[in-house]
Amino acid sequence: MKLLFLGPPGAGKGTLAVKAVELLKLPHISTGAIFRSAIAGKSPLGLKVKGIIDSGQLVDDETTIELVKERLALEDAKKGFILDGFPRTIPQAKALAEFSPIDRVINFDIPDSGVVERLSGRRVCRNCGLNYHIVFSKPKKEGICDACGGEVYVRDDDREEAIRKRLRVYRDQTAPLIGFYREQGILVDVDARPPVEEVVENFKKALGL
């Protein structure tokens, strides 16, 4: 199954993706995670996108589309995948339809107020990418990832100014994708406001699992 996660930053897509990988045994492909790993490795791609990402803007379509096209061509993505953070613009969605049409889109729905609360408290493992929250989901030992022992840090784009910018970008450029996929009859809405266990149950129902 070729599955796509849509929703504003902070809707819980990354957290849900960890559960969905266990359930569906498909690779989780997150463009944000690929960019962050390129930045950490100081690769040419990482150096090119660091400033753009830290300020909460979008990387250009051409670079992002090429990156995803190459990633989806790898062997592990042949049987399906969970795509998270891509597409984020209509041109990206049109390109994806050409090289790898999607079966189902899950739209994680949450108002802006919920997003700000989640993102301003979010912490991420620098090593394995697992998400934490300073109130709802703390690591057992402060600053240390439960899963891999990596450093748990605040993403540069989870600072207040960048959060506001990312929300504006989402509403302007990414939210039109909801209509784009709804028209194709492949979009299912999932309420992303409840605690994660409940969202997982709603997600399973949405997929008929």
Active site members: 13, 88, 122, 155, 166
Whether 7 contacts 192, CB under 8 Å: yes
| Termini Cα distance of the chain | 13
Strands 81-84 and 28-30: parallel
Residue 73 Cβ vs ligand AMP, minimum distance, rounded to whole Å: 17
Which is closer to ligand AMP, CB of 36 or CB of 187? 36
CA–centroid distance for 204 within its chain:
18
Q: Is the dihedral of CA 27, 107, 104, 199 positive or negative?
A: positive
Tally: H helices and E strands in the chain: 9, 8
Whether 120 contacts 160, CB under 8 Å: yes
Residue 9 Cβ vs ligand AMP, minimum distance, rounded to whole Å: 5
* In the complex, residue closest to ligand AMP by CB: 32
Taking the C-alpha atoms of residue 133 and residue 142, their distance in angstroms, rounded to an integer, is 11
Residue 49 Cβ vs ligand AMP, minimum distance, rounded to whole Å: 7
Report the interface residues with ligand AMP, using CB under 6 A: 9, 31-32, 35, 52-53, 56-59, 64, 85-88, 92, 157, 166
Residue 13 Cβ vs ligand AMP, minimum distance, rounded to whole Å: 7
CA–centroid distance for 175 within its chain:
14
Taking the C-alpha atoms of residue 107 and residue 191, their distance in angstroms, rounded to an integer, is 8
